[in-house]
Amino acid sequence: MLAIIGGTGLTQLANLEITHRQVIRSPFGEPSGAITFGRLRQHEVMFIARHGYGHTIPPHEVNYRANLWALHEQGAKRVISVAAVGGIRADLSPGTIVLPDQIIDYTSGRSFTYFDGRESPVTHIDFTQPYSQKLRQQILQAAKLAKVQCLDGGVYAVTQGPRLETAAEINRLERDGADMVGMTGMPEASLAKELGLDYAAIAVVVNHAAGRGSSRNGVHLETISAVAQPAMANVRSILECVVESDDN
């Protein structure tokens, strides 16, 4: 089954016909909320709001391990993560939808692995390609069908938050090769990989990164939701086409 993790601006799927909600307990603590089960264009999907349904859990306090574990335990095979980001690359202006293909992790102090038990053997995962290429292609195809522009590829820098970055930090991220910056891409992506899930992210640019474009003198946080709303409507259209396009 397909699971969707909604981020800022997507705490629920308006087009989801809800069948039930399920509270899941995980060995890693509480997920961000109950998992919502429902049908999207007649296809069964599950949904969880990363920051909680009331948007109260900040990025560094999201229990990524519990969320991914719960989705996996409920039978998710594929996970599409939706995340709001700031645009660093010049063409990533507010309202743009982009499918990142790489990640640089700048987070710290988060619980980032399932493989930390003393009793189990040391386990490494290959993370050369952090996202499922197959799922990325399905999303790109779905975006075409939905007639929604979706840029293919970009490096997602994941910062610790909850504060935004300084202009100098954004310059450094750009020198590192980052195209966009957000706070929730990790450890979500590597945990999904540890569980063997097919995982991809749809990033929605909700502001120019600090010091760039309209954020030259500061990021206007009050404009973010006005940008996110129409863009998330486009994301919903893409998701409908993703579930239509295959066996789910």
Question: Interaction with ligand HPA in 216-245: which residues (CB under 6 A)?
Answer: 219
Cα-based distances in Å from 8 to 82, 220, 226: 8, 16, 12
Nearest residue to the partner ligand HPA, using Cβ: 86
| DSSP code at position 26 | B
Q: Is 101 in the site for ligand HPA (CB under 6 A)?
A: no
Three-state DSSP state, 22: strand
Chain centroid, CA 245 distance in Å? 21
- Interface with ligand HPA includes 68 (CB under 6 A)? no
Question: Which residues sit opposite 84 in a β-bridge?
Answer: 204
Selected binder of ligand HPA within 203, 209, 235, 239 (CB under 6 A): 209
Q: Residue 9, interface with ligand HPA (CB under 6 A)?
A: no
Comparison of 98 and 209: residue with beta carbon closer to ligand HPA: 209
Count of residues near ligand HPA by CB under 6 A: 13
69 contact partners, CB below 8 Å, separation of at least 6: 26, 27, 28, 31, 114, 195
Q: Find residue 35's DSSP bridge partners.
A: 22
Residues 146-165 that bind ligand HPA (CB under 6 A): 159, 164-165
Q: Which distant-in-sequence residues (6+ apart) come within 8 Å of 153 by Cβ?
A: 98, 99, 100, 101, 102
146 vs 154, beta carbon nearer ligand HPA: 154
- Binding of ligand HPA by 105 (CB under 6 A): no
Task: Report the site for ligand HPA in 178-207 (rule: CB under 6 A).
Answer: 181-183, 206-207
Q: How far is CA 172 from the centre of its chain?
A: 23
Of 81-89, 92-100, 125-133, 231-239, which part binds ligand HPA (CB under 6 A)? 81-89
The residues that touch ligand HPA, with contacts defined as CB under 6 A, are 84-86, 159, 164-165, 181-183, 206-207, 209, 219
